[in-house]
Structure 1
Amino acid sequence: MDSIRSVSGRILNELYVRQEDSTGKAVLSRLRNSIGRDYIDMADIMPFVFDKLPESFLGNSKRMTDEEICILTCLQLYAIHQQGDDSNVYERGENYGNIGTSLKVLRAGDDTTAVDRRFNAMITSTEFDELIVHLRHLIRLLKSKQKGTKVDYAGLSEDLYWIRKNKNKDNIILNWAREYYKVNYKGESNEK
């Protein structure tokens, strides 16, 4: 049986391989343009996404399934982050931990108050859509301030799925916060 993580990983790898050809560029552009639009208005991106999903992830009602939403959300975040970058911003594996690990690099510097506020707003979000808005802002900030930072988008899609299902939500959010705030590599605390 396919997992959210494995399906997302396959799609992300395909997007990276195809990013230099016109079709790949168009898909990434359509993913970025689909952000904030109602799912009914995303007909231009749905063939690409639905074609890659296993039958068990596909819904049969007017609403998208949790799997469809979480995978699409991570593909949109990846499309934002990958834009204009030749190296792949997606990296699967232990080296990149969770989203807190990747966002932690934004704390490098003297004044971390603003980015900490953004991160805290994300992890204290009560609604899934609110969390995604904050996460999108943090990914844009990561793209602009910390070139070369990788994100495990496949792992993120799985985390988002469990958050959306409200299973292990508190544990996932706590793990993001642990990674974000833990002691940096120089042995110094990130706290001021």
Structure 2
Amino acid sequence: MTTSDISTSAQAGGAPPDGARRSRPLGEAGRLVDWRIGGPRGLQGRYCSKNRKEALARAQVAALRKGASRSPGELPEIWELTRVEVPDGAGDAPTWEEIAVHTAMTLYAVHQQSRTEPMFRPSVGLGSAAHDLVGRDEENPSARARFNALVTSTTVAELRHHLRGFVSLLRARGIALDHAMLADDIVGFQRPGGAKKVRLNWARQYYSLPAESQPATAPASDADSTTAPTQEN
């Protein structure tokens, strides 16, 4: 899957609102998801449009939802929204980035289904969203148990399984999430020893502790997280 450069202003690509900034720069997978959901013609803006005339956006969200339980590349109708640039010599198995972008995009569709308010909200990490769902005094123990199962996943397949159920809980309560940050978390989870670092980030978000200065996955360049990623013509 080849890509070509496009240009945009520094404010494009789903930048956090009201001057807020993410606690860490996005990596390559995160920037792709950020652009495709929150960019100037991103999926969220078209799906949540007040005039509700974006039939294509609704069809794309429906197609992406079908991919939530499928592997990357299985559904041709969502390739355009889940593609990533694959390095030469890549094997037959999906790359870390392919798994992460596919998972984040399809989970956004699960999250946004039938809701009129935006469910993608930059700077809201998974731990922060979990805290909002569980409650300050942990009055929702079943949600906490679901989150604990998610956090203690040992494989990316197990993580994806638990994320689908957890995002459905967030949707039911109208709690938003930064799916771009989640994409980077999924990449980081797959790196050797990376799961421990990702869990620490989620724990800090849950308890509102200072975030790490370094991302769970290193960005492809020093570009700001709001820089538009490469895309196909």
Q: 2:128 aligns with which of 93, 101, 113?
A: 101
Match for residue 10 of structure 1? 35
Return the alpha-carbon distance in structure 1 between the equivalents of residues 28 and 106 of structure 2: 19
Deviations 1:88-127 (A, max 9, x none): 211213xx2x201011111226643211211111111111
Give the alignment's Cα RMSD to 1 decimal. 2.5
Return the alpha-carbon distance in structure 2 between the equivalents of residues 74 and 154 of structure 1: 7
Q: Does 1:73 align with 2:100?
A: no
Return the alpha-carbon distance in structure 1 between the equivalents of residues 205 and 183 of structure 2: 17
Return the alpha-carbon distance in structure 2 between the equivalents of residues 120 and 85 of structure 1: 26
Match for residue 25 of structure 1? 58
Paired residues, number: 175
% identical aligned pairs: 27
Match for residue 114 of structure 2? 84
Structure 2 counterpart of 1:46, one-letter code: W
Structure 2 counterpart of 1:115, one-letter code: A
In structure 2, relative to structure 1, the CA distance for the partners of 1:57 and 1:117 (3 Å cut) is farther
Contact 2:86 2:95 in 1 (8 A): no
Q: 1:151 aligns with which of 170, 177, 184?
A: 177
SS of corresponding position for 1:35: helix
Structure-to-structure mapping, 1:41-80, within 5 angstroms? 41-50=74-83, 53=84, 55-56=85-86, 60-80=90-110
Structure 1 counterpart of 2:149, one-letter code: A
In structure 2, relative to structure 1, the CA distance for the partners of 1:121 and 1:110 (3 Å cut) is closer
Structure-to-structure mapping, 1:166-181, within 5 angstroms? 166-181=192-207
Structure 1 counterpart of 2:43, one-letter code: L
In structure 2, relative to structure 1, the CA distance for the partners of 1:38 and 1:171 (3 Å cut) is closer
In structure 2, relative to structure 1, the CA distance for the partners of 1:110 and 1:121 (3 Å cut) is closer
Deviations 1:16-50 (A, max 9, x none): 12224111111110110112224453122113432
In structure 2, relative to structure 1, the CA distance for the partners of 1:182 and 1:6 (3 Å cut) is closer
Q: Give the drift of 1:160.
A: 0.7
In structure 2, relative to structure 1, the CA distance for the partners of 1:40 and 1:10 (3 Å cut) is closer
Return the alpha-carbon distance in structure 2 between the equivalents of residues 118 and 25 of structure 1: 29
Return the alpha-carbon distance in structure 2 between the equivalents of residues 173 and 159 of structure 1: 9
**Which structure is richer in relative contact order (CA contacts within 8 A, separation 6 or more)?**
2
Q: Structure 2: any 5+ residue segments left out of the alignment? A: 6-26, 210-233
Structure 1 counterpart of 2:128, one-letter code: T
Contact 1:32 1:76 in 2 (8 A): yes
Structure-to-structure mapping, 1:133-144, within 5 angstroms? 133-144=161-172
Please, what TM-score do these two structures have when normalized by structure 1?
Answer: 0.80
Contact 2:81 2:105 in 1 (8 A): no
Structure 1 counterpart of 2:201, one-letter code: N
Structure 2 counterpart of 1:5, one-letter code: G
The structure where helix makes up a greater share of residues is 1
Match for residue 123 of structure 1? 151
Contact 2:72 2:99 in 1 (8 A): no
